Structure 1
């Protein structure tokens, strides 16, 4: 029997969350009537994550890297290795809720021009996270600077399946045919904006992306990232700018930088008086947004990690 869905998980140093992710996949596999497989790519973890994946009864194959790589490259590797007609891309910190796989599959299988479909992401306390947006542009940056983003930029709203610009890849079902056609993910995006670029290129090739609110996944993001460090802010900012320069003009990229920095500056000012907010974090966003080519991001962190793995002279 041919494989219908390949569950594709990328894990980096999150053994505990990986178990939750695989347990949820096991529950999902028990509810579907088609053939599935589970691929786990471990991103050179040192906490025993690869062994956890190998020992879990749901796992079909483990790809254990010896050097750390970016998310775009790793998701592309999984898509190339997968045998399924559809591939459910998951972060290790994503825990599918019951019925998510069936809902995503039904949405994508019933729409032959849909190249990807994203789930509703919720925090562990059940609060919904934004997970679908309009493509970045000067217009969307202006709406965000005016604090109108929830009405005009965020698209993960409503109770019905709807066509959106892009969805977060923490829990995204991809039609493998479409991914092959556009050449998978762009490896230039180490992490952040990789799925934005992916969905943009899908749209350029005549595909569209769906948001499926009946498919829910718990996103344990704060457990895996904690306080956002400078490297993440730098990586986030540089890849937003990379996306703009790739798909828009230099003028548009500059407008987005200034508008985004303005929005973060306002938040930094507000954080000085509002409890529970960190003005220094917003200030770091301002600096990184205005100077996206400066500073060390997660890509440099991975390079440093890989250098430490190599034996000395």
Structure 2
């Protein structure tokens, strides 16, 4: 029972200090109507517990300051503070705690409505045992169902994900009406011993509007104290009404995981099976470094790795085997017959191809093995990457959480300059994006980079693997677009961080002849097929940016590769540059009556190409060349449009 006599006499001295048992601390930011309703409900409830009320205005822009001045004049036990800038829940609560007088601190959201007996029930539990440092209430949604009855952890949708037990159940759900210890209770209504709060250093202010209470409760438990939930204290809660409540969710999650992964128990959902596919081409040093990061940085357990060698000059499979021996992983060399079974216990499979099949073809070799083994996901990972902590876990957990997602991609950062963002969900730059957008937000996007791309196996089985006719570049764009056109979503998860060297096999994008060739040719094929209006932008970019840059550098080989790319596109040739697939027959049929005109224009283009290579600086030749290119593309588009009408 509560010793109310000890605290029942409130004495006012010269400093107008009140002797109180509980200091109720309410941080507010706007939402004045909610604050009024919360404070009014507290004042109306009769309680034996002497309390004071501290309201911290976290730089509200509405009429909140006027109301707080009024309420503090009306009631001597109400004090108010104002932050000049919005600092978040932890800072506001810590500031309130610093001027508190009570033995207990009661942190309360302003979007709550306490019911009679709420305060007495919390204090009664705390007074029962000095080891009880934190007591949480039962929180109800406005419709009367349970929002909070204690917090547990599970491993999805994040590797360490706190969740409200019995959320959505009726308020009289039997299991939710039993007092018990938990690892965590919510600070939407949380009673804390002030001496313990001070001993713990208060809320960690690195958390901003999220997980401050989770981290605090875990630190309390780690220090040997108890965290208790009582169903006798009941509060209605309009969850997360504060503006900007989730603006910092990604940094908060990352901080929580860095501190507490492996230290708390959680409800385990069986991990899906993942095959990591890494394609190597003359980059064994990078490949071994990528493999090493997977086994050193990842805590995900149910996966295996397929390394596909795209006919590199040297067969270094022995190095892969030696690496596996060093890290204690099983190694299998795949020749003609693919093993019929995989255990998904971190084993590594190596397959060396007789010919270079490009990025798409190499990835597909690994994907086919993964599908044969029953993998739930395939993670395409460039060999010139180093993964961040839990990169795979974050990808899989998000894909599992959203059922309509086909592909999830990582945030890419430059390496070794890891502060620069290379892919932010909308833009890609090997040198780093000057103004990266939404770096710390999970986004529904149009594409993600194939340097780190998780794909659901069910999607691959139903809608096909990567395009192999591109050979290099735009395979990732195409499969993302295909997924979206089939009604699936593509997600960007910045929690999954992968450091990407970029261009280790063939140089930076559009910075080598081979990159110029595939970048130009495949961009034209891609935009012509999927975004015809943008194909003209692509041609303008080549004329105004790519060509002048090559000419100014005197890069004859790069210029020749760029012009060959345009020619092969116009002749509908795909595949590797050394042995392009001649698509002339079917293509010429699509031109219908424009065949002779197209052929004549193409011959003119070849003459202009030769002249341009002899004298790259002649503006008249450049203009004539690109005018001819635009006319040829118009004929291609018109021919394909007529083809569809005929169908």
Same fold (TM over 0.5): yes
State the partner residue of 1:274.
Answer: none
Alpha carbons of structure 1 residues 233 and 191: separation in structure 2 relative to 1, 3 Å: closer
State the partner residue of 2:57.
Answer: 42
The two structures have a TM-score, normalised by structure 1, of 0.76
Provide the rounded CA distance (Å) in 2 between the counterparts of 1:126 and 1:69.
32
Q: Secondary structure of the equivalent of 2:403? A: helix
- Whether 2:131 is the aligned partner of 1:91: answer no
State the partner residue of 1:302.
Answer: none
State the partner residue of 2:128.
Answer: 110
Provide the rounded CA distance (Å) in 2 between the counterparts of 1:65 and 1:132.
31
State the partner residue of 1:31.
Answer: 47
- Whether 2:152 is the aligned partner of 1:141: answer no
5 Å matches for 1:157-196?
157-196=175-214
State the partner residue of 1:76.
Answer: 94
- Whether 2:165 is the aligned partner of 1:154: answer yes
State the partner residue of 2:525.
Answer: none
- Whether 2:298 is the aligned partner of 1:287: answer no
Provide the rounded CA distance (Å) in 2 between the counterparts of 1:178 and 1:20.
30
Alpha carbons of structure 1 residues 265 and 289: separation in structure 2 relative to 1, 3 Å: farther
- Whether 2:399 is the aligned partner of 1:262: answer yes
Larger-Rg structure? 2
Q: Secondary structure of the equivalent of 1:210? A: strand
Q: Is the 8 A contact 2:138 2:231 kept in 1?
A: yes
State the partner residue of 2:613.
Answer: none
Provide the rounded CA distance (Å) in 2 between the counterparts of 1:282 and 1:215.
38
5 Å matches for 1:12-31?
12-28=29-45, 30-31=46-47
RMSD: 3.1
5 Å matches for 1:297-312?
none
Alpha carbons of structure 1 residues 126 and 205: separation in structure 2 relative to 1, 3 Å: same
Provide the rounded CA distance (Å) in 2 between the counterparts of 1:38 and 1:97.
17
Unaligned runs of 5+ in 1: 270-280, 294-313
* Aligned mate of 2:248, from 214, 230, 235: 235
Number of aligned residues: 268
Provide the rounded CA distance (Å) in 1 between the counterparts of 2:81 and 2:192.
20
Q: Is the 8 A contact 1:50 1:62 kept in 2?
A: no
Q: Is the 8 A contact 1:39 1:61 kept in 2?
A: yes
Determine which structure has greater relative contact order: mean sequence separation of CA pairs < 8 Å that are 6+ residues apart, divided by chain length.
1
Provide the rounded CA distance (Å) in 1 between the counterparts of 2:223 and 2:151.
19
State the partner residue of 1:55.
Answer: 70
Provide the rounded CA distance (Å) in 2 between the counterparts of 1:131 and 1:260.
25
State the partner residue of 1:309.
Answer: none
Unaligned runs of 5+ in 2: 1-9, 11-18, 168-174, 263-296, 300-388, 407-441, 446-489, 499-647
> 1:159-187: CA deviations, max 9, x gaps?
12110010111111111111011110101
Provide the rounded CA distance (Å) in 2 between the counterparts of 1:257 and 1:173.
33
> 1:72-110: CA deviations, max 9, x gaps?
111111111111001110111011111110111111111
Q: Secondary structure of the equivalent of 1:7? A: strand
* Aligned mate of 1:244, from 251, 257, 261: 257
Q: Is the 8 A contact 2:395 2:496 kept in 1?
A: no
Q: Secondary structure of the equivalent of 1:287? A: strand
* Aligned mate of 2:83, from 65, 79, 83: 65
> 1:95-152: CA deviations, max 9, x gaps?
1111110111111111211111111111112111135212x4xxx215x68xxx98xx
> 1:169-225: CA deviations, max 9, x gaps?
111111111101111010100111110100011011111211111111111226x25
Alpha carbons of structure 1 residues 256 and 133: separation in structure 2 relative to 1, 3 Å: farther
State the partner residue of 1:299.
Answer: none
Q: Is the 8 A contact 1:120 1:213 kept in 2?
A: yes
State the partner residue of 1:301.
Answer: none
Provide the rounded CA distance (Å) in 2 between the counterparts of 1:93 and 1:204.
30
CA drift at 1:264: 2.7
Q: Is the 8 A contact 1:133 1:154 kept in 2?
A: yes
Q: Is the 8 A contact 1:18 1:93 kept in 2?
A: yes
Q: Secondary structure of the equivalent of 1:266? A: coil
